Amino acid sequence: MVEAGRPDRVAGAPINEAIELSSTFIAGGERNYAREGTRSTAAFEAAIGALEGGTATAFSSGMAATTAIVEGLAVGSAAVIPQTFYNLGRTLFDEQVRLGRLEIRPVDTTDTAATIAALDGASLLWLELPSNPTLRVADLPALTAAAGERSVRTVVDSTLATPLGIRPLSHGADVVLHSATKWIAGHGDLIMGLLITADPDQAVAIRTRRTLTGAIPGSVESFLALRGLRTLAVRLERCSANAATLAQRLADHPAITSVNYPGRPDHPDADRVASLLDNHGGLLSFTTDTVERADALCRAVRLISHATSLGGVESLIERRGRYPGEIAQGSPAELVRMSVGIEHIEDLWSDLERGLR
C-alpha cells in the first residue's frame, strides 16, 4: 500500500506520481483525452487495485460509481438490495423504480435464507458490509456462492470496512465499491468513488461506462486520495482503537439504550464479524433514551464536529433519524452515528460525556 502506485525508480526522479493537469494529450500515446483518465488517476487506481486484488476504476464520486452499476442494468432487471443501507443509494434504486426501469427486492441481507430466496430471476445482488448505519454483517461467502449459481452479479459496498477490513473479491464478490471520500482518502478534502473487479471483461465494461458518462475524477483529487491511502493502516488502527473504547463506555452510560459496533461481543453477527472482518473500523452508532437528548448531544459537542460523512481523521457525529430516508428504512429516530477520528481518547470521551449531560 505504501509502495503501490509509485513511478519507476530512476535516479533523480520524484518518488510520487506528479499531478497531471491536462485535458488533452498528443496523439499516438496511451491516452488521447483526460476522459480516459490521467497518470495521477492511474497511479491511484494501481494502488487500490493491488490492495483489493483486482482492476480499479476511479469515479468522480461514490454515487457516480453506484450509478455506473445501477443505470447499467437492462430495463426490467430485478435487484436484490438490503432493507437498510446507505440512504442516498436506496434513493437511487427507488428512482429507477419510479422511472419504470428496475424492480427492487428489499430484504434483510443478514437473513441468508431470505436473501437467497430473493435471488431467483434477479440480475444484481447489492450488499453493504458492514451496513450503514446499523453495522450489521451479512454472510458474504454464502450469498456470493448462491448468487454465482444463479448468474446474479454481486456488488459489495465495503466503504465502512475498507480494504484492510475485508477484500470482498476474495469471498466471491464480482465488484467492490468504495466511497474513497471516506476512509481511503481520510481527510475530508475530496469526493471520489471506486469500482474494483477481478474480471477483465467487467473491468472493461466499468471503464467504458465511466467514459460514456464522463464521471471522471480530477488529477488533484486522485493525488490526494493516493496520499491518503498510504496512511490508511495507521489512521484506521487509531480510529478503531478509539471507537472500541467509546463503544464500551457508551454501553455503560445510563442515557444510552443500545450501541452498534462490530467489535462488541454482543454484536448480533459476532460470528460473521470474527470470520470475515480483519478490522472492526472506526464507525459506531447508538441510541439515546430520547430524540431530544440525541439532538442536544450533537449540538453540545465541541471537539467532535456535528456534521455528516465519515472516515476522516476528525470525529463527526449526527442524528441519522433527521433524514426521512433513514426513518423510512427503519432506523430509530434517536439513532446517532459517530465517525471516530484520531483525537486523544480521553478528549473524545470528555466531549461526549459532557454532551450527554
- Report CA dihedral (264, 266, 270, 273) to the nearest 10 degrees: -20
Q: Which of 192, 196, 169 is nearest to 181 (CA)?
A: 192
322 is catalytic: no
Q: In whole angstroms, what is the distance from residue 254 CA to residue 118 CA?
A: 41
Catalytic residue among 136, 182, 210, 320: 182
β-pair type (193-197, 175-179)? antiparallel
Q: In whole angstroms, what is the distance from residue 25 CA to residue 31 CA?
A: 7
Q: Which residues pair with 79 in a beta bridge?
A: 104, 124
157 is catalytic: yes
150 is catalytic: no
Q: In whole angstroms, what is the distance from residue 213 CA to residue 321 CA?
A: 33
**Residue 203: HSE in the Cβ half-sphere, 13 Å Cα cutoff:** 12
Catalytic residue among 39, 86, 90, 235: 86
Q: What is the DSSP letter of 354?
A: H
Catalytic residue among 39, 136, 153, 157: 157
Q: How many CB atoms lie within 10 A of CB 9?
A: 7
Cis peptide upstream of residue 265 (ω within 30 degrees of 0): no
Q: Where are the beta strands (DSSP E) in 25-89?
A: 55-59, 77-82
3-state secondary structure labels for all residues of 248-260: HHHHCCCCEEEEE
Q: Which residues pair with 104 in a beta bridge?
A: 79
Residue 169 phi/psi, 5-degree rounding, is: -60, -35
Catalytic residue positions? 35, 86, 157, 182
